[in-house]
Amino acid sequence: MKKILLGITAIFSATFSMAQVPEDALRMTWNVPSGTARQQAIGGASGALGGDITSAFVNPAGMGVYKRGEFVISPGLSFISSKGNFLGENNKAGSSPKFHLGTTGVVWTSYDPYSKWANKTFSLAINRTANFNGEIFYKGVNDYSSYSESMANEFYHYYVGQREAYPGKSDEDIINDALNSNLSLLTKMGLYTYLVDIVNDGTSSTVISRAEEAGILNQEQRIVTSGGITEAAFSFAANNSDKFYLGGTIGLPIVNYSRKSYYAESDFHGTGNNEFSYSNYTEDFSSKGMGINAKLGIIARPVNNLRLGLAVHTPTLYALTDKFSATMETDIDAAPGSNKVFRVEASELLGGDNPEYKYDLTTPWKFILSGALVLNPSENISEQRGFVSADIEYVSYKGSKFALPDADFSMEGFFDDLNATVKQIYKPAVNVRLGGEMKFQTFMTRLGFAYYGNPYKDAENLKARKMNISGGVGYRHKGMFVDLTYVHPLNKDVHVPYRVDPPRENVLANIKDSNGWAVLTVGFKF
């Protein structure tokens, strides 16, 4: 993930400013939702099919296909693994399997013979619409840049301004004042640990980054993420003579995201009193909150074996709270016997408290066109021989927008810049899902494929996509059904451990995920 943190230096813009970055928007939108085992086995291509409780989260008109009520539960298990290529070096990360709950809930149907819309369906369901469990790791040798470069540049501009305004001010006083200024928190941590410093050769003073002075650096990044978005959905659908279906869903997504990250740089040449041995930055970050959205859909059956669907997902309006704690430690490789390791907690520079940020996030609109061809169509489901199905989904990732929950004109400029950056970095993308099922009386086999397009505007350099291959089996008999599916992703993304100031170029890590998952669905008709 992405993938999760585009730049450590982009996290903090000012001492008490917001911690949001453009990647927060992508994390909340560029996801592959879970579902029932049947829906996952066919690549998620269920927009025109219906008759599956996952329809509440894709095209709620599909709930109108139901003729009987049912109870469904879909436990799942994720297998986490990724590979990172950074500066020509390959590394692998992985962790233990994680449990998750796919689409689970209850469907009720009613029949009114005097109504034009005789069949009506209500449902209450929950689903894991985003799975944040993952781990990435990469390392390499870099002779081009350091994560302290932007810190040194930011402090340099501050230093020049102080020198012009107060010519007689000492370097020590300038540093002490900088620790209480509106410089970014990361730069203050760099100053506190002497990663960024002022050196005087007897005639003039110069701002330096000790890591840059070392020349060649070992660099490594590890990020472990957990949690997800669990959405509760309340749906209603109606069926007009099995020719036209109409439905809607109100969704209440609950966000629970945690990230533990570790970044380190060390002198490639080892120790030797060259005034830099290593520096590392660790962070614990969490984001929690709740949102609301709506989904509307229609399905038409112009002929018995063909179904055509259209669904519109409104933006989700999230109210989120972010918390974090951070630590920086630097070893300046001083002479033996002298203090050489300096460590600071972010809270020490923020009045003793770890910061908490409240903000709103609006996600983009989503549009889904679907089609399904039923093999051997029949009103008697047991006589059908299967189907092929396809979804085409359009999402404009640049449409995400951050805002404060209350009017705060002091932060208006920050959010304007952040939203402008989202529009500059991301673009619309098309997602495609394909799948099919073959039915042999009570036994079924299924295959599926899903492709989620590159959300980055600079697609030539930022090569990213999500691609899933899936397969599964199912059994139905006398009102009970059991389905089992495995989904194997082949994902690509990029990760930038830190940003440097333009026109300098950022270094990139290429990430390949293979976070497969298995889903078991058990259901009972009533």
Structure token pair of residue 407: 């009017």
What is the rounded CA–CA span in Å between residue 320 and residue 218? 36
pLDDT confidence of residue 7 = 31
Among the listed residues 422, 330, 400, 355, the one whose alpha carbon sits nearest the alpha carbon of residue 184: 355
pLDDT digits (tens, 9 = 90+) for 327-369: 999 998 776 656 689 999 999 998 888 888 899 999 999 999 9
List, in order, residues 6 or more apart from 524 with CB less than 8 Å away. 70, 71, 479, 480
Nearest residue to 119 (alpha-carbon basis) of 106, 101, 107, 136: 107
Give how far the C-alpha of residue 160 lies from the chain's centroid of Cα atoms, to the nearest Å.
Answer: 39
Distance of alpha carbon 43 from the chain centroid: 20
Contact 135, 159 (CB under 8 A): no
Cis peptide before 502 (omega within 30 of 0): no
DSSP 304-331: TTEEEEEEEEPPPEEEEEEEEEEEEEEE
Residue 381 pLDDT level (bands cut at 50, 70, 90): low
Per-residue pLDDT tens over the stretch 394-449: 999 999 999 988 766 556 677 888 899 899 999 999 999 999 999 988 999 999 99
pLDDT in tens, 460-515: 888 888 999 999 999 999 899 999 999 999 888 888 898 888 888 889 999 988 77
- Token reading at 400: 């995400």
How many Cα atoms within 13 Å fall on the side-chain side of residue 383? 6
The total number of residues shown for the chain amounts to: 526
Residue with tokens 């066919």, as numbered in its chain: 42
Dihedrals φ, ψ of 181, to 5°? -100, -170
pLDDT above 90: percentage of residues in the chain: 67
Residue 513 to residue 84: CA distance in whole angstroms: 9
Residues 6+ apart with CB under 8 A from 443: 473, 474, 475
